[in-house]
Amino acid sequence: MEADLVARLEEKERQLERYAADLRETFKAERARSAQLRASYMATVRALANAVEARDAYTGHHAERVAAYGLELARTAALDIADDPQTEFGFLLHDVGKVAVPDAILFKPAPLTDEERVLMERHPVIGWEILRDIDFLGDAKLVVRHHHERWDGRGYPDSLAGDDIPPAARVFAVADTLDALTTDRPYRPAGSFADARAIIRAGAGRQFCPTSVAALETVSDERLEELRTGIS
C-alpha cells in the first residue's frame, strides 16, 4: 500500500517535471522569436530610413547620426525613452515624409518661396500618415509628427509647446540641429561642435527644451566625435 502511494507520488513528480521542462523550452523559444522579431523590426526601420536618405547624398547617414546623438542625450538626461526602441525608430524615420517633397524643393539651392515652404513643412504629417497603420511603430510616430515643434510653440505642424511636445521629439530637435550644424552643406562647410553648442545654448527655452540642451552640455566633444565616426 505504501509502495503504491510512493509510486503514485513519483508519477506526479515526473509529470510536473515534464510540465516545467516544456514551460522552460517554450519560454526559451519565445525569447528567441521575440529577439528575431525585434531584429526584423529594426532592419525594416533602417531600410525605410535608408530609402529616404538615398535621395540626398549630402545628408548621408544623417538619420543614424541623429539617432546616435539623440539616444546619447536621452541616456545622459536619464530619460525613460532612452531604453524604448520606439525612440530610436522615431529618430531614424523622422524624415520619412520627405519622400513626398519634390526634388526641386528639397534640393533648391536658394531660399524657399512661401508656397514651397508650406509644401516642405508638410513632411512631418505626411510621414506620420505613411506610418500610421504600422502597429509596431507606436510612439515612434509621435517623433515623426512632432520633430519640428519648438519649445516656445512656434514650430510645426501642431504648434505644441513645452511639455506638450513628446519627450523624444524634444531631444530630437537638439540632436537634429547639432548634426545639421556639424556636417557639410552645399552652401557652407561643417561647423565645429563648439560653434554648434553655442548656437543650441542660445536657443534653450525658445527653440529647444532646456533639459535636452543641458544634457548636451554634459556630453563631451570627444564622445560626440566617437558617435559620429562610429557611423560613417
Which residues are part of the catalytic machinery?
A: 98
Contact range with other proteins by CB under 8 A, out of 11-19, 72-80, 83-91, 184-192: 11-19
27: contact with other proteins by CB under 8 A:
no
Record the cell numbers describing residue 205, joined without a space: 527655452
CB of 2 to other proteins, least distance (A): 17
User: Which amino acid belongs to residue 208?
Assistant: F
* Near other proteins by CB under 8 A: residue from 3, 5, 26, 160: 26
Question: How many Cβ atoms are within 10 Å of 141's Cβ, its own excluded?
Answer: 21
- Least distance from C-beta 29 to other proteins, angstroms? 10
Residue whose CB is less far from other proteins, 10 or 226: 10
Interaction of residue 22 with other proteins, rule CB under 8 A: yes
Kindly state the number of chain residues that form the binding site for other proteins, as judged by CB under 8 A. 12
Residue of 2, 3, 5, 17 interacting with other proteins (CB under 8 A): 17
- Does position 24 interact with other proteins (CB under 8 A)? The reply is no
Q: Considering the rule CB under 8 A, would residue 14 count as an interface residue with other proteins?
A: yes
Among 19, 103, 109, 187, binds other proteins (CB under 8 A): 19
In the bound complex, what is the minimum distance in angstroms from residue 12's beta carbon to other proteins?
A: 6
Q: Closer to other proteins by CB, 7 or 198: give it.
A: 7
Q: State which residue, 11 or 225, has the beta carbon closest to other proteins.
A: 11
Residue from 6, 11, 37, 102 that binds other proteins (CB under 8 A)? 11
> Binding of other proteins at residue 226 (CB under 8 A)?
no
Q: Mapped to the 3 state alphabet, what secondary structure does the chain carry?
A: CHHHHHHHHHHHHHHHHHHHHHHHHHHHHHHHHHHHHHHHHHHHHHHHHHHHHCCCCCCCCHHHHHHHHHHHHHHHCCCHHHHCHHHHHHHHHCCHHHHHCCHHHHCCCCCCCHHHHHHHCCHHHHHHHHHCCCCCCCCHHHHHHHCCCCCCCCCCCCCCCHHHCCHHHHHHHHHHHHHHHCCCECCECCCCHHHHHHHHHHCECCCECHHHHHHHHCCCHHHHHHHHHCCC
224 Cβ partners below 8 Å, 6+ apart? 69, 72, 178, 182, 193
Q: Is residue 12 within the footprint of other proteins (CB under 8 A)? A: yes
Residues that bind other proteins in the complex, under the rule CB under 8 A: 8, 11-12, 14-15, 17-19, 21-22, 25-26
